Structure 1
């Protein structure tokens, strides 16, 4: 590193010295958002993918843009002429190019573009932070998404309950009367209880396979991110009925994964857990608890449930996209369509999906090619 605020760095988490540089930059960042930690990003990369951070580092500021480099040769429909290309995506969560102190956005993007061209990157997708003041200006297209629920902890702890809507307040009091208690599991010792409730909830909801993270995922998360993960358990009759894994950043907690058994619903186990999370966050000096959104924004029951704990506090966020190589992007679209057609399947990119060549397959069949 140098003291030049406009120096572009590309750090690879698989290289010990570079990972150490990345971690040192993250630890120097006042906000220390967990989604930019190398250990977090590595959780979402497949074995064949690279976990990198595009950076700019100086004496009194930096830029951190964590990304996963996805080789296109891993896709069965990619032709030989595209096998050395890749695309770029942020890991799960609210990410983006974070910046603080003294930095040069123009110099960062200039270095980023040179690197992207060298690695034959076709496209870039990032889901941007709910706190845009932490981001440098994004060079590309941005589309407003959301909303997402963010509980602001600007009230004293003894006034938090009255800030919820009427139904939430009633449920919290009902859980207390029923004898539900909440355990804060900072060391994540009851991971087995969490997994039992979580997997049971996914089964009941008919969740997609992508949400069935294996136990090793959680063990890696807790091992790679010591102090950045905490479990909460709502207990009744010595049994965990509702549980939640939260990720800890300097200013906020992020509700990551959770579950509630059917037996926990009559005693309102989850509402009491939600309140306990907010109370604990205030004692830790946090400013927000990020609950996220639902499945279909404001029309979704999950979103409405979350909003009970922060009425009129929903925030929009943006996704950022860039086509870095237009001709190769179009070539991939054509190649994907031809490959699907050869197998008797109709395929066309969905309007909002990015990158379009990765859009899910439609259910419409066509006659096999001769």
Structure 2
């Protein structure tokens, strides 16, 4: 992984993944892990986005859901655009993706990292309650969400500009090139100060602020919130997401700052672990939402009923029809509806049986003149026999 550093360069680091490792195990294992994480994470994030889109269309959107949907979109960008570049680089062990990808690979990845952290920090100002369509507090009137998204992405792309400016291709052999970040001596003093401020401003401070705010909010949600149960659950989800983000991105930011501040290069194993953990974070986020967030979990149950009922060629059963037509998200309500219908329904044969039983005349055991009843039965029996004989005789 060593390459000769030019004399007029103070920083020399690989861009787009580690190169020149010449290790067969890494060449095989790391790309397979990254591809598996990409596929699983992309599917989970798409499911979460489908649930949020359905909630918005049903009038059950909220500011928190809008920001979490933006986080899911950011994770999709990371998994679909950034992770494949790393997988190809680890497999080829040289740079084969051209100059444009070399310049934009780390810039796009850092833009997504910063945007994701700031989006979670923005949830501290968002409301947890649903906003019905047509109400006075319509979700569409919360214009600060659109302004916050534009501001966050502008800040993220501007702070990540050095990753774009200093990236370039460097020849390694006659037919091989590597993608590296070269920082000249004239810019070293300013960039040394910048790389001290950059991780602190876009990672350390937002994560600490978000964790502290959600911890305080969770502590007081039970007694002070208008809907304490719902708000405390949502706050717990946001707290877990922020904690997971801080822990899983700590190796990535640690190794990045370590190299940029001029210390010795971290071990190769730590750099690979930081890369894999960073992409795993984008796959873990939707899993946390699907397991902890009630609205997302119930929306997935509804989508499952739609998928299992619609493809049938025969007319759908009552249970499927009811589950698809339910306006709410609760699968329990669907089960209750189906159970009530099955309870009230009487099968035809059983209905005739019980009708006959209800119409049967029960004789009184304490009849004071039972012989009269017997005589009537004998007379009716004789009349039936005589009528049968008349019908049989010509």
From the two aligned structures, give the one with the greater helix fraction.
2
Greater radius of gyration (CA): 2
From the two aligned structures, give the one with the greater strand fraction.
1
Q: TM-score range by the shorter chain?
A: under 0.3
Per the normalisation by structure 2, the TM-score is 0.21
Per the normalisation by structure 1, the TM-score is 0.22
